[in-house]
């Protein structure tokens, strides 16, 4: 992930019920599904707390990676983000994850990660 021009950010757009794809902070596409590889999961904690305090939504959580293709493997782990909790989390164990080798963003709004990497930090 050394060349920034090839990096994309993906987040779920609740207004459109589609995944929004950004390049350099500019939305370039809305799509029902997409796959990224070499992913970093970003969730801004101060923005999350502000959204929780004010009730105003904004984009403060996304997955950054390079565009990829291919079917989701059966051992992929479902991940997600909830503004009421810090960080992206595994849906099976509720463990915070910060990276994955690939993430599949599905038409039903779910996201699935291959090799999710747990956060070195612990949130209460």
**b/e for 58-90, b at 16 or more Cβ within 10 A?**
ebbbbbbbeeeeeebeeebbebebeeeebbbbb
Task: To the nearest 10°, report the CA torsion of 9, 15, 16, 21.
Answer: -10
pLDDT greater than 80 at residue 80: yes
pLDDT in tens, 2-23: 466 789 999 999 999 999 999 9
Q: Does an H or E element contain 93, and which?
A: none
Confidence band of 124 (pLDDT split at 50, 70, 90): very low
């Amino acid at each position: 992930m050394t060349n920034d021009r090839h990096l994309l950010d993906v987040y779920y757009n609740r207004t459109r019920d589609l995944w929004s794809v950004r390049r350099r902070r500019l939305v370039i596409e809305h799509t029902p599904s997409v796959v990224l590889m070499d992913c970093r999961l970003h969730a801004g904690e101060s923005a999350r707390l502000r959204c929780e305090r004010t009730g105003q939504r904004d984009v403060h959580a996304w997955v950054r990676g390079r565009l990829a293709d291919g079917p989701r493997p059966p051992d992929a782990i479902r991940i997600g983000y909830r503004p009421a909790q810090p960080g992206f989390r595994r849906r099976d164990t509720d463990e915070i994850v910060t990276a994955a080798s690939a993430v599949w963003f599905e038409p039903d709004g779910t996201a699935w990660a291959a090799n999710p990497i747990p956060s070195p930090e612990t949130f209460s």
